[in-house]
Amino acid sequence: MSQTLLSLIVFWPFLLAAFTLLVPSYMERLLKAILIGGMLVMLGLCINALIQFDPALPDGQTWMGFQLVEKRDWISLKLGAFGALSIDYLVGVDGLNIAFLPLTGLILLIASISALSIREKVKGFVLAFLLMAGSIAGCFVALDFFLFFIFFEFMLLPMFFLIGLWGGPAKEKAAVKFFLYTLAGSVFILMGMIALYMSSIDPVETAINFGLMAPGDMLTSEIIFETQQLLAGGSIPAEQIVHTFTIPYLADQSNLIPYSILSFDSETAFLGLPLRSWCFFVLVLGFLIKLPAVPVHTWLPDAHVEAPTAVSLVLAGLLLKVGAYGLFRIALPIFPELLVQYAMPLSVIGLLSLLYGGLNALGSPDLKRMIAYSSVSHMGYVLIGLAALTAEGLGGAVFQCISHGLISSFLFLIAGVIYDRTQNRNRDDFAGLVNPMPRFVALAMLGFFASMGIPGFSGFIGEILVVLGAFKSAGFNQLIPRWVAIASTFGMFLSAAYYLYTARKMFLGEFWVRDKSIQENLKDLNFREYIMLIPLLATIILLGIFPQYLMEYINPAVEKLTQMVQGI
């Protein structure tokens, strides 16, 4: 099973979606049971993958440092004088993406439980949710850029319908805005992907095509080295070159075709910059839109406000992390020298997102909009950690992705509790909720503290590691100015400001509601809400007290990235 485990994780939701088509639309309880049961199985599969992954396994016993690898020929085309095209179905995990799998399983399960409140078009919702679930999992395990892009692009369709059909009053506008922004990001990524394909070879398939080895022969490092040496010397004819989308091959600069558009010796330029720099820019821009970072963030608050709670959980907990993961998996390994060159402006974008998102959260009376801007702010830490290119910064950025996925999902559930009871999320319309809803307020305050970065919660670990990495970068590799490192600490004060202000307005003081007709609806948490909130909170506290349980997976991958950067 370990040889097909990742494929089972990816395609299990698609299989469920096919089965769901056979279920009559009026059997709504069965449809919801299928969704929850299916996501429970998916969580079990994701945990199984985490158990089978061995962070201490030497690279010599893995495929290029990846485990649970499944590699199959998918698309092969002879292109005459242009060589050959090779696209593989290739999935695998390492320290960068293994932790995203249990996060994906947990968030999807809790979102499916939240979806019990869906009353209209239940079958359509379940189908769209399942398609989205498989696409997200596919993004996190794909090691072929073409395969990654298919999942990345396909994700837009179910999310568009989930927002546009089951959202709030302005759902159509929010869905169209979400689709246009993220489609634009996908176009930028497609441009970079095509340029990388045209400039890189698959050393294994090229060696076979050139006659250095026969199909089925044992592959050795000597054959790979000889192929790359022949490529560098221009000894392999163009018609015998096999181009590739395999990400580990793209990240190996020895596989660059001499004088191709992205090679270091290319003389092709646009507006005074080499095309290699432009490819880096379009890839980073595409992933920044998905992250999202200021100023390409405006789709996120609207999407969150209009989306149903179940969709907000997935949007904040997982979809934003795909953008960050793309930066770690693709932009950094393939263009390490350009990330070093442009680390300072990238850190400034991260700082701008951190501060601008925090200030907007402070001024947003709508609870979901406040949490959405908080997400923009906290994902700014990820950019700063990435730009630092230190072990602390990179490790903290990956940890922050996992932590924020848990915390933001928890907070959107909190906002959903209020909205389900009152159809109102305006913090100015409530006061003293601790009186009728003491348990709700207790859990909400714990979520606020976690997002503030208070010690004992996972949010503290991610943020403090990023800040430490930023300060180390200012003195060690001097990629981030010291003023950026200092200013990044102000994000913690902003978080405290908008969360404590919201808590004072909504939770403390004498009980008051602007609309007196909803007072009777303000009852404390029910069993279903506990089932959703407690696992998230327990994981947030567990990672806050014992971060080594997660860092032992992240550290080996981060070490490889820092060694790659230091070798420039």
pLDDT digits (tens, 9 = 90+) for 158-182: 999 999 999 988 999 999 999 999 9
Instruction: Return the structure tokens found at 471.
Output: 């300060």
**In the sheet that 242-244 helps form, which strands lie side by side, from edge to edge?**
67-78, 84-93, 242-244
Q: Which residue has 């181009």 as its token pair?
A: 243
Mean pLDDT of 468-492: 91
User: Angle at the Cα of 520 (from 517 to 521), degrees rounded to 5?
Assistant: 95
In this prediction, residue 568 carries a pLDDT of 66
For the cut 60, the answer to whether the pLDDT of residue 471 exceeds it is yes
Confidence grade of residue 1 (pLDDT, cut at 50, 70, 90): low
Per-residue pLDDT tens for 491-539?
Answer: 999 999 999 999 999 999 999 999 888 888 899 999 999 999 999 999 9
Would you say 421 and 522 are in contact if contact means Cβ atoms under 8 Å apart?
yes
Average model confidence (pLDDT) for the chain? 93
Q: Per the confidence metrics, is the pTM higher than 0.75?
A: yes
Q: What is the structure's pLDDT at 89?
A: 96
Tokens at 361, concatenated: 């959260």
**pLDDT-above-70 percentage for the chain:** 99
pLDDT in tens, 49-96: 999 999 989 887 889 999 999 999 999 888 888 888 889 999 999 999
* First-to-final CA distance of the chain: 40
Report whether pLDDT(145) > 60.
yes
Boundaries of every domain in the chain: 345-568
- Going by their DSSP bridges, the two strands 67-78 and 430-431 should be labelled as unpaired
What mean pLDDT is predicted for residues 191-213? 92
pLDDT at 215: 83
How do residues 210-239 score in pLDDT, each as one tens digit? 888 888 777 888 899 999 999 999 899 989
- Interior/surface letters 316-351, b for 16+ CB within 10 angstroms, e for the rest: bbbbbbbbbbbbbbbbbbbbbebbbebbeebbbbbb
Mean pLDDT of 296-301: 94
Please state, in angstroms and rounded to a whole number, the distance separating the CA atoms of residues 477 and 229: 32
> Given a cut of 80, is residue 2 above it in pLDDT?
no
Q: Provide the total of helices (H) and of strands (E) in the chain, helices listed first.
A: 25, 7
**Rounded mean pLDDT of 236-251?**
93
